[in-house]
Structure 1
Amino acid sequence: MTQIDRNHVWDMIEDMRVCMLVTWDGSRQSARPMGPMPIRDENAIYFFTDVKAEKDDQIREFPIVTLAYVDTSNNDYVSLTGTATLTNDRRKIEQLWSPVMKTWWEDAHDENIRLIKVVPEDAQAWDGPGGLVASVKMAAAAAGMGEVDLGESAKVKM
């Protein structure tokens, strides 16, 4: 069985293309799907954002955020908590730019583009067996053939 540690969490999130970024406005949480760009060597996860986005104001005032990742094909789940900052680092924006960003901006030189940088502090990860294996294990448990084992879970300092 795989031990869930810091490196394993990075391995998991590097394979997940979408996560929910959860911010706080002082009275309510708000979640939205985002395209994470994890860079393990920097201990950071980046997101493109627009200077006019409401989440940017929330991050400035309340920088602690949660990132919720789901990979249903492998029954893997990660919830990260960390500190978010906004940056206008044009070199980093150009480095992370990809053609899919043209959906929102003409090119990497658009002055409205900003990056959200999240430095993870801790994570809760669930590393489950693949979809078919999990289904068989749940069916066996439901039929009274033992308890269901859906993988490993751990809280990890990042």
Structure 2
Amino acid sequence: MAHAEDDQSKVWALAEKIGFCMLTTQSGGDLRSRPMSAYAERSNNAFYFLTDVASHKDEEIARYPAVCLAFADPKGQTYLSVSGTAEIQNDREKIRDLWATPAKAWWDNPDDPSIRILKVTPTSAEYWDSPGTVISYVKMAAAAVSNTRPDMGENVKVGM
């Protein structure tokens, strides 16, 4: 059980470190992704996003609440995919709590009535954590020369 707890801790730490993700929703038969600033809160077992009441993702989530969050740090060769269930909330206190400088690009202040919270409760995650770009390239080159498979770091599936 301690190993599962360590893996979950790693998921939350990676999400906090990377910060931005691609939020994937379903729109009819298509999947749509868009960049979002994620607020990871392990204590609430949730990822939060500020969104606008008029956005299409709110309608998509109402019909198809299963979503995927894809975090990527290509320079550090670290990647995280989180699957979960999304819901839209109008929690004005939480909006003020999450309000930060990036939100000012979209709204004047946290009291704007069009702001909503998109909450994602994770069900599972998977991460890939490599030793870094230079080391990864060296390992791949060595593996190619020796006709072996390189050790590219951790790849772990995590129940949330």
Q: TM-score, with normalisation over the residues of structure 2?
A: 0.93
Counterpart Cα distance in 2 of 1:153 and 1:64: 23
CA deviation vs aligned residue, 1:34-79 (integer Å, no higher than 9, x gap): 1111011111001111010000000011101001111112211111
Residue matched to 1:156? 158
Residue matched to 2:47? 45
The one-letter code of the counterpart of 2:18 is M
Residue matched to 1:7? 9
Counterpart Cα distance in 2 of 1:104 and 1:89: 18
Counterpart Cα distance in 2 of 1:5 and 1:39: 16
Correspondence for 1:114 among 108, 116, 121 = 116
- The alignment partner of 1:105 has SS state of coil
Per-residue deviation at 1:85? Answer: 0.5
Residue matched to 2:100? 98
- Number of equivalenced pairs: 156
Q: Does 1:78 align with 2:80?
A: yes
Ranges of 4+ aligned residues in structure 1 off by more than 6 Å? none
Residue matched to 1:127? 129
- The alignment partner of 2:67 has SS state of strand
Alignment of structure 1 residues 14-53 onto 2, 5 Å: 14-53=16-55
Ranges in structure 1 where 5+ consecutive residues have no aligned partner: none
Residue matched to 1:87? 89
The one-letter code of the counterpart of 1:21 is L
Correspondence for 2:62 among 60, 63, 84 = 60
Counterpart Cα distance in 2 of 1:9 and 1:81: 12
CA deviation vs aligned residue, 1:72-107 (integer Å, no higher than 9, x gap): 122111111100010110000000001221100000
CA deviation vs aligned residue, 1:112-150 (integer Å, no higher than 9, x gap): 000100000001111111122112111211222642110
Counterpart Cα distance in 2 of 1:42 and 1:90: 17
Ranges in structure 2 where 5+ consecutive residues have no aligned partner: none
- The alignment partner of 1:58 has SS state of helix
Correspondence for 1:143 among 133, 142, 145 = 145
- The alignment partner of 1:47 has SS state of strand
Q: Percent identity?
A: 43
In angstroms, what is the RMSD of aligned CA positions? 1.3
More helix by share: 2
Counterpart Cα distance in 1 of 2:37 and 2:84: 16
